[in-house]
Structure 1
Amino acid sequence: MTTALLVMDVQEQVLARYPAEACLAKLGTAISSARSAAVPVVYVKIAFRPGFPEIHPRNKMFGGMPARAGNTPAANEIHPDVAPEPGDVVVLKHRVSAFAGSDLDMVLRAQNIEHLVLTGVATSGVVLSTLRQAADLDYRLTVLADACLDGDPQVHDVLMTKVFPMQAEVVTVGEWAAGTGG
């Protein structure tokens, strides 16, 4: 079974809202382990065209974005501590789930990926939405609990201990890295 590590929404503008240092360190370890084990690393980031034509004003999460600053190229860059390397796939999305408004499913299926290892910010946003959609698309799922971050630690814990285990294996970066051979 072919596995891919998904690194989701670790852009400067997203991370600026969180104390992300520990999560970035864990993400770095996960990425290094994946590369050592020849596991593809796929980055997913939220991005919009100039003028935000993808955003409807009724969208509670994104509707206010056109009025806010922050859709600059620098703000949309993936954090340099975990930045893509040449050959890594970077998928652009337009909604919360990594699959919504993106070609992620096509990219994964073209590479015969059947198992997704999920990481990212925020646990209650991109990780939850992507996990639910990926489960409905019949992917095998693993979530790296310490390579995900949420603004509310209690919500993060509830998702990791009660919600995610219904559809995914939830492990630490160390546990996963030991199993990948990385």
Structure 2
Amino acid sequence: MTTPTPTPSTITPSTINPGRTALLAMDFQNGIVPLAPDADALVERVKGAIDDVRAAGGTIGHVRVAFTENDWAAVPETNKSFTAVATARMLHHEGTASQIDERLRPQDGDIVVRKIRYSSVSTTDLHDQLTDRGIDTLVLAGISTSGVVLSTLIDTADRDYRVYVLSDGTADPDPETHRVLVDKVFPSRAHVIDTTELRGLLQSA
């Protein structure tokens, strides 16, 4: 039996309620940011979006991928992606590569979580923290589009969040993969906007 593909909504809400909204800056860490095309410009756009959401009274969430020795040891050989990470002992939780880019440094009141898989939700308490704050709307920014952004979008959409993806706040090492996901895949599950549109939605609230 084939599950029907939802028809993408062409209607984007005209406002965002900042008090019920969190912008998630995902995997913007020292070892990953350089993998993005035009990385410095990407970080500056996301920094501007963070500033806009913060100024409007919204929540900022920071997600990083990082492993303890026990986390590496617990990765089963069935996991194609993370077996390689564990074998190479990559992204130690105290290492420089796993630290959040200084330009996006968390502030008091922000949510910060550490994950050990692609999704920002599956191996963290992020959903519980968002629920405790009454948040039902997410704005996603991250590296990479085909990794953390895709996985988090599917996970949070299944949890009934209203989800926005920042088309110019996400990036993938493969620009064509980014384009296909943003143009063809994401619109069935989320509102795809850019950072300028986000600012307008916040200002209209």
Question: Normalised by the size of structure 2, how large is the TM-score?
Answer: 0.84
Q: Is the 8 A contact 2:36 2:144 kept in 1?
A: no
Greater Cα offset, 84-93 or 70-79: 70-79
Give the superposed CA RMSD. Answer: 1.5
Deviation at 1:67, TM superposition (A): 3.2
Question: Residue 35 in 1 paired to residue 57 in 2?
Answer: no
Deviation at 1:69, TM superposition (A): 5.0
Match of 1:159 in 2: 181
Q: Describe how 1:77-88 pairs up with structure 2 within 5 A.
A: 77-88=99-110
| Match 1:97 to one of 100, 119, 124 | 119
Question: Residue 66 in 1 paired to residue 64 in 2?
Answer: no
Match of 2:77 in 1: 57
Question: Residue 5 in 1 paired to residue 1 in 2?
Answer: no
Distance 2:81 2:49 in 1: 29
Per-residue CA deviation, residues 41-95 of structure 1 (Å, 9 max, x unaligned), is 0111112112513422321111022332543422111111111112211011111
Per-residue CA deviation, residues 136-157 of structure 1 (Å, 9 max, x unaligned), is 1000010110000101111111
Which is greater in Rg? 2
Matched position secondary structure for 1:34? helix
Distance 2:164 2:86 in 1: 35
Number of aligned positions between the proteins: 182
Matched position secondary structure for 2:82? coil
Q: Is the 8 A contact 1:3 1:114 kept in 2?
A: yes
Q: Kindly, what percent of the aligned residue pairs are identical?
A: 37
AA partner of residue 55 (structure 2)? S
Q: Is the 8 A contact 1:99 1:133 kept in 2?
A: yes
Distance 2:29 2:83 in 1: 19
Match of 1:14 in 2: 32
Distance 2:121 2:140 in 1: 13
Match of 1:122 in 2: 144
Match of 2:198 in 1: 176
Q: Is the 8 A contact 2:73 2:86 kept in 1?
A: no
Per-residue CA deviation, residues 10-69 of structure 1 (Å, 9 max, x unaligned), is 111112323311210111111110111011001111121125134223211110223325
Distance 2:122 2:74 in 1: 12
Q: Is the 8 A contact 1:98 1:104 kept in 2?
A: yes
Distance 1:45 1:151 in 2: 18
Distance 2:201 2:143 in 1: 24
Q: More helix by proportion, 1 or 2? A: 2
AA partner of residue 75 (structure 2)? I
Question: Normalised by the size of structure 1, how large is the TM-score?
Answer: 0.94
Unaligned 5+ runs, structure 2:
1-16
